[in-house]
Chains A and B, each alone.
Chain A
Amino acid sequence: MKDSEITKFLVSFTGQIEYVTLPDGVFDDQSYIQYETVWGPDWAPMSGLTSGTSQMARSGVDPERIIFNLPLDMVFSSTNVSGWPQIIVTLRAQNTIVGDVLRGYSLFLMPPTTGLNLTSAPLVRPQAATLLGEWLAWLTGRYPELADPKMLASGKDNYLLKTESYGSVTVSLSMVSKDLRKLGYDNQPPIYKTVSDSS
């Protein structure tokens, strides 16, 4: 195919959701994560799983960390960079007293530059809007949840949602692109910057 005939590019993301860190300690015996991917209108998934659920995990030697090591592998094609895929990770726990409870949401942007990226993002939990709701959440152990967590990726219409943050999720992802640069895009930092960042 001639260069002038190229209209779309492919990006492949591979990696894993490594672990969740909760600095106050892990008090649940059974925690699990779910991930969902959100992308813009010009994007299409080509292969791989764009959503999934992990195993039930608990902490080990380090009482603050739950290792999931959940593999991620997806390929997207697009004609436009706008609407770059984002992952929403939901941490939930199963508990004998209250059942299935939410522990937090976390939002990641898939790496737009090639190479390996180890990133962590904070876990955010919505707070009840009223004092009564807050008190009920404390009493029942069930915190308010978002009807559609994908709203976090759009960044609009959050109507001043009140949140609190607690812990973080760490993801390592590597990105490989095809024809992105042939279409005129430049996503690589200049050499002087990569040298000064690593030193």
Chain B
Amino acid sequence: MAELHILGQIRFASEFQETSSLFCRYSFQSGPNWTVVSGWPEGQTVSGKVDNDKSVVWAHPLDIHYVTKGVQGWPKIIFQVSCLDSIGRSWIVGYGCCSLPAVPGPHIINVNCWVPTPTTLTDRIRQYFLGGSHQLIQSDVVNLGLNRFKLKTKSKGSIQLQVTLLLRNFSQFGVEYK
């Protein structure tokens, strides 16, 4: 069976326009052919304070080992960014998803994020003064592209991901990626 190693870091989030500290939960999603042999395919970063250049450093390590029987469902990474304010409340400020490249070697990936917007005026006023946000009940909208038409969203910042991919024995099974 072919193997895929994902090594790297979730480096930072930038331009999120939040004043409180941010953290993110991430999870890797892959097709039924893929199994995780070692590593943590989901997790949560530290909660970082916004620094002088408006970014939040997470520097969260990733080390995941996949074994696969087929290329369908190549791994994707899903992010859910939340903010944590000074009195300990937290709410979601961004969703993002990106498919990992099927190319060995180092990559720098910017994942652009979005968040559902308040739909009514009262919600908008409440969120402006008190904080809080709408969140998705079914979070598979993030990685599936279905049923998105009625969703109203707002653009948020981006997350920088630095990963190196190592592929093993793919060419032995006739997979052509180069």
* In the assembled complex, A55 has its CB within 8 A of some CB on chain B: no
**Number of chain B interface residues as a range:** 35 or more
Query: A190's closest neighbor in chain B, by CB?
Result: B178
A184 to nearest B CB, angstroms?
4
Interface of A is mostly: loop
CB neighbors of B among A111-157 (8 A) = 111-113, 121-122, 124, 127, 152-156
- Pick the interface stretch among A63-71, A81-89, A93-101: A81-89
Contact in complex: A190, B51 (CB < 8 Å):
no
Give the complex CA separation of A86 and B7 in angstroms: 10
Contact in complex: A40, B63 (CB < 8 Å):
yes
Contact in complex: B166, A124 (CB < 8 Å):
no
- Residues of A near B47 (CB, < 8 A) are 160-163
- Pick the interface stretch among B34-42, B72-80, B134-142: B34-42
Give the complex CA separation of A187 and B62 in angstroms: 16
A148 to nearest B CB, angstroms?
15
B110 to nearest A CB, angstroms?
15
A109-B7 in contact given A153-B61, A155-B60 (Cβ < 8 Å): yes
Give the complex CA separation of A189 and B106 in angstroms: 7
CB neighbors of A among B151-178 (8 A) = 164, 166-172, 178
Give the complex CA separation of A193 and B61 in angstroms: 24
* In the assembled complex, A51 has its CB within 8 A of some CB on chain B: no
A81-B166 in contact given A160-B46, A164-B48 (Cβ < 8 Å): yes
Q: Which residues of chain B have a CB within 8 Å of any CB of chain A?
A: 5, 7-9, 11-12, 21, 23, 37-40, 43-49, 51-52, 56-57, 59-65, 84, 103-106, 164, 166-172, 178
Q: Which residues of chain A have a CB within 8 Å of any CB of chain B?
A: 23, 40, 80-84, 86, 106-107, 109, 111-113, 121-122, 124, 127, 152-156, 158, 160-166, 183-190, 193
A-B contact pairs, 22 of them (CB 8 A): A83-B38, A106-B59, A107-B9, A107-B59, A107-B61, A109-B7, A111-B106, A111-B164, A112-B166, A122-B12, A155-B62, A156-B43, A158-B45, A160-B23, A160-B84, A162-B47, A162-B84, A185-B168, A186-B171, A188-B105, A189-B104, A190-B105
